[in-house]
Amino acid sequence: MEPTSPAPATSPPPRLLSLDAYRGAVMILLAVNGFGLAALAKNSDSALLKWLGFQTSHPEWLSHFHLVGFALWDMIQPAFMFIVGVAVPYSFAKRAALGQSRGKLVAHAWTRALFLILLGVFLTSVRAKETQWIFTNVLCQIGLGYPFLLLLAGRRARTQLIAGAAVLGINWLAFLLYPVPESNAAAVAAGDPGALAGFFGHWSIHTNLAADFDHWFLNLFPRSEPFVMNAGGYTTLNFVPAFVTMLAGLMCGELLRNEAFVPLAKVKRLLLAAVVMLAVGVILGVTICPVVKRLWTPSWMLFSGAYVTALLAVFYWAIDVKGWKGWTFPLVVAGLNPLALYVMGQLSRGWTLSQLKIHLPGFVFSGPSTPVVEALLPALVFWLIVWWMHRRKIYLRL
């Protein structure tokens, strides 16, 4: 007969519905693949469609437009990583309430980080002929930063702020001190959108510190051909400033769990933090550090962090403060099974679409709106699957 575990001293804390809904909104945007609007806009002269297409695709390099403007699609990954940070205080509180020691929490965090990295590599390699040892997938980026997030969980806010500022400052200085190759001037003259002029040349595509690090680091792994570059300019070292995005989420999560503040005061603090981050991010972006999502520059961390923090404030105010919960069900279903939804989208979107085309009437996929239909129907299938899982309390978690 196995010994029974002692009952926890306290019951697990309740879930934050607004966080589940926020996470679900991000996952649904990923699942619908931008609603197919980018593909639809390619063959259209409509100014509205062109704008929507821009919002659902990644800009070529710079991520900052008209002082405070951005492409919505660029905000998906920051929101994803930010939400991971927000959830950490709730996850740790739940495990502590269940009687887990600090040692078990640390072991779980490191195990989770390893599995996230390996899962990210696996998903990157699905359609390749060999393992793709590349760590730019969002799961890899979360996994690389997660253990460091653990070190700051539960610390004083001042300590967390100093740590975050130090990481961003060191990242900026390292890029600045790395020499700009002579070829950058020619690339600027040729009109390469990824080549930045003057001082900002330290953050040009493929010729920066992080890109050269990958050229060395990724070739340490077994591969049939040498790694040369990531076509989009994404790098492994993005996880360093992206860790601060998760840290910002952690700080927001700890604020939301802090009973010393009434709910409306929490909303105001979140919005104030968003305003400060936006102001600092914009100032940095036009002076000493370009806003580049594909390198996760410090200015991008602050710029994007402002918007994802403000969105958390809106969700929290609407759902947990005002109590407007009726509309959240589709989002919450997706938000409770984000890993399942993400993996299905990465592994089986193409196969699911091909099966739908076999079994549904041809007219469904004909006409000018075909890209939208092709984006929505597989996403609907994936949502129905996670809804079925939710009804049976099946949740895929690491």
CA–CA separation, 341 and 396 (whole Å): 9
Nearest CA among 93, 88, 60 for reference residue 245: 88
pLDDT above 60 (res 259) = yes
Contact 262, 172 (CB under 8 A): no
Rounded distance, CA 310 to CA 306, Å?
A: 6
Can you give the pLDDT at residue 6?
A: 42
Mean pLDDT of 4-26: 75
Q: What is the pLDDT of residue 8?
A: 45
Arithmetic mean of pLDDT, 175-183: 96
Alpha-carbon distance of 214 to 202, in angstroms, equals 16
Banded pLDDT at 7 (limits 50, 70, 90): very low
Task: Give one word for 356, left, alpha or beta, with left for phi > 0 and alpha for psi -120 to 50.
Answer: alpha
Give mean pLDDT, residues 164-185: 97
Per residue in 149-166, pLDDT (tens digit) is: 999 999 999 999 999 999
pLDDT-derived band at 97 (thresholds 50, 70, 90) equals confident
Distances (CA, A) of 12 to 93, 285, 351: 7, 42, 40
One-letter amino acid of 369: S
Using an 8 Å Cβ cutoff, are 304 and 363 in contact?
Answer: no
C-alpha 218 chain-centroid distance: 22
Report domain extents, the chain.
17-391
pLDDT at 293: 97
Reported as a pLDDT band with limits 50, 70 and 90, residue 9 is very low
- Cα–Cα distance between 118 and 113 in angstroms, integer? 9
Query: pLDDT tens-digit profile of 332-377?
Result: 999 999 999 999 999 999 999 999 999 999 999 998 889 999 999 9
| pLDDT for 272 | 99
Provide the pLDDT confidence category of residue 102 given band limits of 50, 70 and 90.
confident
Sequence-distant (6+) residues with CB within 8 A of 202 are 175, 176, 178, 180, 208, 209
Question: Which tokens is 167 given?
Answer: 């990481």
Helix or strand run (H / E) with residue 334: helix 329-336
Q: pLDDT at residue 82 above 80?
A: yes
Neighbouring CB atoms inside 10 A of 115's CB total 13
Q: What is the mean pLDDT of residues 33-46?
A: 88
pLDDT(1) > 60: no
Buried b (16+ CB within 10 A) or exposed e, 368-378: eeebbbbbbbb
Torsion of CA 276, 282, 288, 292, to 10 degrees: 110
Distance of CA 11 to the CA centre of its chain: 31
